[in-house]
């Protein structure tokens, strides 16, 4: 399962939005990664996500593999949109 988003939160993926994303996916079994400009990080690793230094306007892809991948993508989409972190593209 893959989904592409555009980051709209002005400061980019700083500590606050990243914490939200990582906390959200931590409760799922599936493996989940985030890709930005050809670089991929584990979305369950706050360090990995922040080291991508994703700024506002960036287009990212979230990809999940596992038994609850579908639910994970649904939940992360809801969080990204409801918390003003980004929008679907």
Kindly list the distances between the CA atom of residue 16 and the CA atoms of 1, 65, 67, 83, in Å, as whole numbers in the listed order.
Answer: 25, 25, 28, 11
Is 55 a residue that touches other proteins (CB under 8 A)?
yes
The residue from 25, 32, 34, 46 that contacts other proteins (CB under 8 A) is: 46
Identify whether the C-beta of residue 59 lies closer than 8 Å to the C-beta of residue 5.
yes
Is 11 a residue that touches other proteins (CB under 8 A)?
yes
Q: 82: how many CB neighbours lie within 10 A of its CB?
A: 8
The catalytic residue among 6, 14, 68, 79 is: 14
Residues that bind other proteins (CB under 8 A): 6, 8, 10-11, 14-16, 18-19, 22-23, 26, 41-42, 44-48, 50-51, 53, 55-58
């Amino acid at each position: 399962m893959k989904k592409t988003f555009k980051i709209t939160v002005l400061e980019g993926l700083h500590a606050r939005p990243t914490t939200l994303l990582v906390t959200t996916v931590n409760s799922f079994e599936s493996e989940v990664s985030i890709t930005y400009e050809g670089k991929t990080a584990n979305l369950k690793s706050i360090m990995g996500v922040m080291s991508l230094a994703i700024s506002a306007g960036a287009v990212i892809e979230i990809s999940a593999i596992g038994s609850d991948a579908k639910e994970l993508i649904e939940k992360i989409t809801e969080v990204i949109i409801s918390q003003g972190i980004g929008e679907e593209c």
